[in-house]
Every structure is written in structure tokens, then in C-alpha cells.
Structure 1
């Protein structure tokens, strides 16, 4: 089994993020690993394309400030050093891969909602991160009641 030294945890800052961070923290503690957080903000232009002719920069700046404040609180709650908290703008899969390479992560931890059918065909961040990652990826099942075994 791999001994992880640097773990990147991707969070969307929803209530499910706590579960993902707790799982990553447990792995980091067991391996004596450094733990990083990343939150990716998708540009509004991705959502609306060129369909709406307006400048989104002010709104985008406000979203970035709010996300940074939320990640600050989240990082404090989970005892992640400020230098290991990252808010970036871009496509989630691309930015998570880039940050993993930048910090030389050997594990990426993401949440997965376990979608199926059309939702699976549409893709998910967890699936996108898995394909193309240069290190191990752990998808933590979130947002569903777990089956009793």
C-alpha cells in the first residue's frame, strides 16, 4: 500500500465537503501526510458562453471573494494551514490536476454522488479527476445514505 505524503482534497464547500475533508484528514494523519484543500470556481462565461453580452468580471470577483472566505472558515474548521488552501478559477478537472502537479500530490480526494444513467453520461467532476490524474484518486461517496452491511 502506498504511503501518501501530500494529499489534495477538492471541495465544493457544500455540507458534503465535511465528509470528504474528514476522510482526507484520516488518511493524512495515518500517513503523516501534508493536506491541501482546493476549491475551483467555474467562470460565469463557461455557464453562459457568449449568449449574454455583458461583463461578468465584477460578479466573478464577488464570487471569488465569497468562496475565499468560505474556504478560510472551512480550512480553519479542519485545521488546514492557510498556505495549503487554494481557490482557483477554471474548469474543475483541469485545475485540480494542475494543482496536484504543482504541489506534487500523490493522492487526490474528491466527493462523488454516485450518479448513474443520464447524470453519469453528462459526467462529473470526480470522473473527470479520475481520468487524467497523475496520482491516485479516492472518490468518497457522499450525499446518499450508506447501505448497512
Structure 2
């Protein structure tokens, strides 16, 4: 089994984030690895096609501030310092690949809902991260509380 030294954890900051953070913490402890957390925010112009005649920069800033606060809470559970907490604007898979390479990560940990059918055909962030990563990728199967 590989020995991991630097683990990058990609979080969507949903209700499932806790499961991914917990698993990453267990891996970090087992390998004595340094853990970094990342949340990627897609620019609102991507989401709305840039056709809306309004300035979305203030909304984008609010989203980034909220994400930084949520990420800091997650980081506090694993004692991860601020310099290893990243809120980045961009396309999730691309930015996680870039961060992993920049930090010389040897493992990327992400959550996966294990979707099937139409959701799988439309693609997913987990699939995008897996295909194109320059290191190992662990997709943590997140489960709903009622399962």
C-alpha cells in the first residue's frame, strides 16, 4: 500500500462534508500525512451563461466569504492551518488537479454520491477529478442519514 504524505481534500460543503472530512482525517492520522482542504466555487457567469444583465460580483464575494467560513470550521476539526485551506474560483476538477500538482499531493480525497442513470451520464465532479489526476484519488461514498 502506498504511503501518503500530502492529502488534498476536495469538499463541496454540503451536508455530506462531515463524512469526507472524517475519512480524510483517519487517513492523515494513519499515514502521518499533511492534509489540505479545498472548496471550488464555479463563477456565477458559468452557472448563468453570462447573459444576465447584472453585476454578480457582490454575490460571488458573499459566496466566497461563506465558503471560507465553512471551510475553516471543517479545518478546525482536524487542526488544519489557514495556509492549507483553499477557496478557489473555477471549474472543480481542473482546480483540484492544479492544487494537487502545486502542493505535490499524492492523494486527492473527494465525496461521491454514487449516482446512476441520467446523473451518471451527465458527469460528476468525482468522475472529472478521477480522470486527469496525476495522483491517487479516493472517492468516499457518502450516504444519507436515513440509509
Which residue does the alignment assign to 1:4? 4
1:16-40 residue CA offsets vs partner (Å, 9 max, x unmatched): 1111111111111111110000001
Give SS of 1:8's match.
strand
Aligned partners of 1:136 and 1:36: how far apart in 2? 15
Report 1:93-132 matches (<5 A): 93-132=93-132
Segments of 4+ in structure 1 off by > 2 A?
143-147
Shift of 1:72: 1.2
SS at match of 2:17: helix
Unaligned runs of 5+ in 1: none
**For 1:61-110, what per-residue CA distance to the aligned partner results, in whole angstroms no more than 9, with x for missing partners?**
11111111111122112322221111100010011101001100000000
For 1:145 and 1:106, the matched residues in 2 are separated by: 31
Report whether the alignment pairs 1:25 with 2:48.
no
Aligned length: 147
The DSSP-based 3-state class of the residue aligned with 1:62 is helix
CA distance in 2, matches of 1:133, 1:146: 32
Q: TM-score, normalised by structure 1?
A: 0.93
**Counterpart residue number, 1:134:** 134
CA distance in 1, matches of 2:82, 2:46: 28
Q: How much has 1:58 moved relative to structure 2?
A: 1.1
Do the aligned residues in 1 keep the contact of 2:20 with 2:140 (CA within 8 Å)?
yes
Instruction: Please tell me the root mean square deviation across aligned C-alpha atoms, in Å.
Output: 1.5
